[in-house]
């Protein structure tokens, strides 16, 4: 079963492609974590049962020529609303909100008769989209690393091979020297997708140059930014691409062992990766004597216990070594002395997933995508106040405007776009003025934001930017490891001040202290988490200072979000004096005589809003 030569690989690849061709119709169910949550597995099983009953089911089999329908567990489709999703190829129908009851009809109408079911198709503004590729959300995207996600069976190595999988590895070990591989990655100008944007080729070359008896490759899958799930989707939807990238990394850097560090909250990713590792070993893409070249490389999954800071390179290594997950001082750098004190190549999931494509299609091809010095694409988790949210992938240099309005479909409910938060708790908030800003490492850096791992939250005028900053600060504060003083103590105090401000107890002096502290935490912290902890505050202070001023000076929240700053008033002309509000008020803050207008005693009011919800006459207003 093990591949021993390029010819052997070609034979296998042909077999896989032919087997895939034998499946004249391919049915993909969005079998990722999000899909499972809304019943994708049930839909899968139902479809399986029905297609088998019809005698049409054709599992992928390299040695039998059976034709029929292939049913697959695909990874994330990208679009997060309307799951479970079913994509039927070659028609490219995308069915939304598929239920078990719909399956019989799908089998009969679509799979047997070849016709779409209109009620299940994606609709937008009166248009029914018959093909997934035509949906505006997908149309504007360029899917490279997410190319296989949702398009192939995430649990089948043969399907991955049919798409050219492991050909990059074969090319490396049969035709290239480690130096050439490193050079190729350097030429591609691939930059680390974990957030820092460090040139991957330079890192690979540094590890390669180290003299050591052992070296390691680590894939950082400890994706922790709130609302970010790019890496999860890649690991769930195309685990082999990550593994192939790592094996190539091992070959290029001279490492024989690798770890994939995945947070334990990603059980499906762990399961799919483990399955993929086993499959790859069977074919000889992993393990001893890879592809019969004498090169050894094996992998182990290391599960993280959920600390955000373990996504930081050195803390991650400590965690793998069984120690407390805290960052250590550098130098020595990871490439010199990393895991178990050995030279270590550490990249994140998306970075490794890019590698097989670069090797296969060449660095020139990769450089042709994206903007100068920022080649390739970037996956983002688009969320917040946009009509279509989900996992997207765009060429570097795409503008915020294009992402928000063309892919995301703009802000819903006729609200006004206010900001986009990028980079998670380490990132910053950008405004309308930045809608034409190209999204790449350098442009973001210039405006005080950062790429981060790829969280992108669109914010409309219903959100309070002070509250947004407070939220991120509370996240960072909770996730601080507690090692260095500026981060441990500084975030605690910044959060205190932010809480004071949203509670209406802040002063203008607080703003000055915030700025002062932000500087201290940024300059003084030991690791990236601390250094960037103040970014949400600094960027909102920079672009939305007026909102802060309203909070501290007028004690008003312009967006009406900060509850403690709102005032509830009873409109005397509408109030019928029914006393319902008085009865329900938990603070006994409402007084009045039945059948006469009631009034709220502002000093006692705790701004819970229960009276407003209770009033049958809509006589209570929030100001």
Partner 1 sequence: MKSMQINGKTVQFDQEKNMLEVIRNAGIELPTFCYYSELSIYGACRLCLVEDRKGNIIASCSEPPKDGAEILTHTLRLQKQRRNTMELLLANHDRDCTTCGKSGACKLQELTKALGVDSVRFGKHDIRLPLDTSSASLVRNPNKCILCGDCVRVCEEIQGIGVIGFAYRGSKARVTPPFDKNLSDVACISCGLCVSHCPTAALEVRSETDHVWRALYDDTKTVVAQVAPALRVSFGEAFGLKPGTISTGKIVGALKALGFKMVFDTSFCSDLTVVEESAELNKRIADNESLPLFTSCCPAWVKFAELKYPKYLKNLSTCRSPQQMLGSLVKERFKQAGEKQVYMVSVMPCTAKKEEAKNPKFAANGVADVDSVITAIELASMIKSAGIIFEELEELPFDMPFGFATGAGTIFGVTGGVTEAVLRGLKPGKSVYKEVRGLQGLKEYSTEAGGRVIKAAIVSGIQNAKNLIAKIESGQATYDIVEVMACPGGCVNGAGLSASPHSAKTRLRSEGLYKEDAQMQFVRSPENPVIEKLYADLLGSPGSHKAHDLLHTHYSSRKRIHAMELGFEEKPPEKAEEIKVCVGTCCYTKGSYDLFQEFFKEIAERNLGERVSLQATFCLERCQESPNIKVGDKILGGVNRTDVAGILSGLTPKE
Where do contacts with partner 1 occur on this chain (CB under 8 A)? 307, 324, 326, 328-331, 477-486, 488-493, 496, 513, 516-517, 519-520, 523-526
Cβ proximity to partner 1, 439 vs 534, nearer residue: 534
Closest separation between CB of residue 473 and partner 1, Å?
Answer: 12
Closest separation between CB of residue 280 and partner 1, Å?
Answer: 28
Closest separation between CB of residue 448 and partner 1, Å?
Answer: 17
Cβ proximity to partner 1, 424 vs 486, nearer residue: 486
Closest separation between CB of residue 516 and partner 1, Å?
Answer: 7
Cβ proximity to partner 1, 338 vs 486, nearer residue: 486
Closest separation between CB of residue 483 and partner 1, Å?
Answer: 5
- Residues 6 or more apart whose CB falls under 8 angstroms from that of 118 comprise 128
Closest separation between CB of residue 495 and partner 1, Å?
Answer: 9
Cβ proximity to partner 1, 96 vs 525, nearer residue: 525
Closest separation between CB of residue 482 and partner 1, Å?
Answer: 3
Closest separation between CB of residue 158 and partner 1, Å?
Answer: 36
**477 is written with which tokens?**
């504060």
The closest alpha carbon to 365, from 375, 356, 373, belongs to 375
Closest separation between CB of residue 590 and partner 1, Å?
Answer: 33
CA distance 68 to 593: 77
The closest alpha carbon to 151, from 111, 105, 94, 102, belongs to 94
**394 is written with which tokens?**
């765009």
Cβ proximity to partner 1, 200 vs 307, nearer residue: 307
**605 is written with which tokens?**
């009011």
Strand ranges inside 60-107, DSSP E: 68-74, 86-89, 93-95
The closest alpha carbon to 598, from 448, 616, 608, 606, belongs to 616
**8 Å CB contact between 484 and 530:** yes
Report phi then psi at 228, rounded to 5. Answer: -105, 135
Closest separation between CB of residue 273 and partner 1, Å?
Answer: 24
Quickly count helices (H) and strands (E) in the chain: 25, 22
Cβ proximity to partner 1, 27 vs 326, nearer residue: 326
**167 is written with which tokens?**
């050909």
- How do the residues of the chain divide into helix, strand and coil, expressed in percent and rounded to 5? 45, 20, 40
Cβ proximity to partner 1, 45 vs 337, nearer residue: 337
Report phi then psi at 62, rounded to 5. Answer: -70, -20
Cβ proximity to partner 1, 490 vs 558, nearer residue: 490
CA distance 196 to 531: 12
Cβ proximity to partner 1, 428 vs 486, nearer residue: 486
Query: Cα 370 to chain center, whole Å?
Result: 20
Q: What is the DSSP letter of 38?
A: T
Cβ proximity to partner 1, 287 vs 519, nearer residue: 519
Question: Radius of gyration over alpha carbons of the chain, in Å?
Answer: 27
For β-strands 216-221 and 344-348, DSSP reports them as: parallel
CA distance 291 to 6: 9
3-class secondary structure, 371: strand
């Amino acid at each position: 079963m093990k591949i021993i030569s390029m010819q052997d690989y070609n034979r296998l690849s042909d077999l896989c492609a032919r087997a895939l061709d034998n499946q004249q119709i391919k049915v993909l169910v969005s079998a990722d974590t999000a899909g499972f949550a809304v019943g994708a597995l049930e839909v899968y099983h139902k479809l399986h049962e029905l297609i088998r009953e019809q005698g049409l089911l054709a599992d992928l089999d390299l040695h039998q020529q059976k034709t029929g329908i292939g049913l697959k567990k695909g990874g994330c489709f990208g679009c997060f609303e309307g799951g479970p999703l079913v994509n039927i190829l070659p028609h490219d129908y995308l069915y939304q909100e598929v239920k078990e009851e719909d399956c019989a009809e799908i089998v009969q109408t679509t799979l047997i008769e070849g016709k779409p079911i209109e009620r299940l198709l994606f609709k937008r503004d009166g248009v029914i989209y018959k093909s997934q590729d035509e949906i505006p959300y997908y149309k504007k995207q360029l899917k490279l690393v997410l190319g296989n996600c949702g398009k192939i069976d995430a649990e089948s190595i043969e399907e991955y091979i049919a798409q050219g999988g492991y050909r990059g590895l074969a090319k490396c070990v049969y035709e290239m020297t480690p130096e050439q591989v490193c050079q190729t990655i350097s030429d591609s100008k691939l930059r680390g997708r974990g957030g820092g944007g460090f040139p991957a080729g330079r890192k690979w070359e540094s590890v390669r140059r180290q003299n050591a008896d052992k070296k390691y490759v680590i894939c950082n899958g400890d994706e922790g930014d709130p609302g970010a799930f790019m890496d999860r989707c890649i690991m769930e939807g195309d685990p082999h691409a990550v593994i192939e990238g790592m094996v190539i990394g091992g070959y290029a850097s001279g490492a024989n062992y690798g770890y994939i560090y995945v947070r334990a909250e990603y059980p499906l990713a762990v399961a799919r990766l483990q399955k993929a590792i086993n499959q790859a070993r069977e074919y000889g893409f992993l393990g001893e004597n890879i592809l019969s070249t004498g090169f050894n490389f094996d992998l182990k999954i290391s599960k993280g216990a959920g600390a955000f800071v373990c996504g930081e390179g050195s803390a991650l290594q400590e965690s793998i070594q069984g120690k407390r997950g805290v960052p250590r001082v550098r130098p020595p750098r990871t490439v010199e002395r990393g895991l178990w004190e050995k030279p270590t190549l550490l990249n994140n999931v998306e970075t490794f997933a890019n590698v097989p494509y670069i090797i296969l299609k060449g660095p020139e091809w990769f450089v042709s995508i994206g903007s100068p010095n920022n080649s390739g694409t970037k996956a983002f988790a688009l969320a917040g106040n946009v009509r279509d949210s989900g996992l997207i992938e765009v060429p570097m240099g795409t503008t915020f405007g294009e992402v928000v309005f063309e892919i995301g479909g703009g802000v819903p409910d006729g609200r006004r776009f206010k900001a986009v938060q990028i980079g998670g708790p380490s990132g910053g908030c950008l405004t309308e003025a930045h809608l034409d800003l190209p999204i790449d490492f350098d442009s973001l850096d210039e405006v005080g934001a950062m790429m981060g791992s790829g969280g992108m939250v669109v914010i409309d005028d219903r959100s309070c930017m002070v509250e947004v900053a407070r939220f991120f600060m509370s996240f960072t504060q909770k996730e601080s490891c507690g090692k260095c003083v500026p981060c441990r103590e500084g975030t605690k105090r910044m959060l205190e001040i932010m809480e004071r401000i949203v509670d209406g107890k802040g002063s203008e002096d607080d703003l000055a202290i915030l700025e002062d502290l932000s500087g201290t935490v940024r300059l003084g912290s030991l690791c990236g988490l601390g250094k960037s902890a103040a970014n949400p505050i600094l960027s909102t202070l920079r672009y939305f200072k007026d909102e802060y001023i309203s909070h501290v000076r007028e004690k008003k929240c312009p967006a009406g979000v900060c509850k403690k700053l709102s005032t509830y008033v009873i409109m005397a002309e509408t109030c019928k004096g029914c006393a319902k509000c008085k009865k329900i008020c938990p603070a006994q803050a409402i007084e009045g005589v039945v059948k006469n207008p009631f009034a709220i005693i502002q000093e006692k009011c705790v701004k819970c809003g229960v009276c407003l919800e209770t009033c049958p006459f809509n006589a209570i207003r929030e100001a």
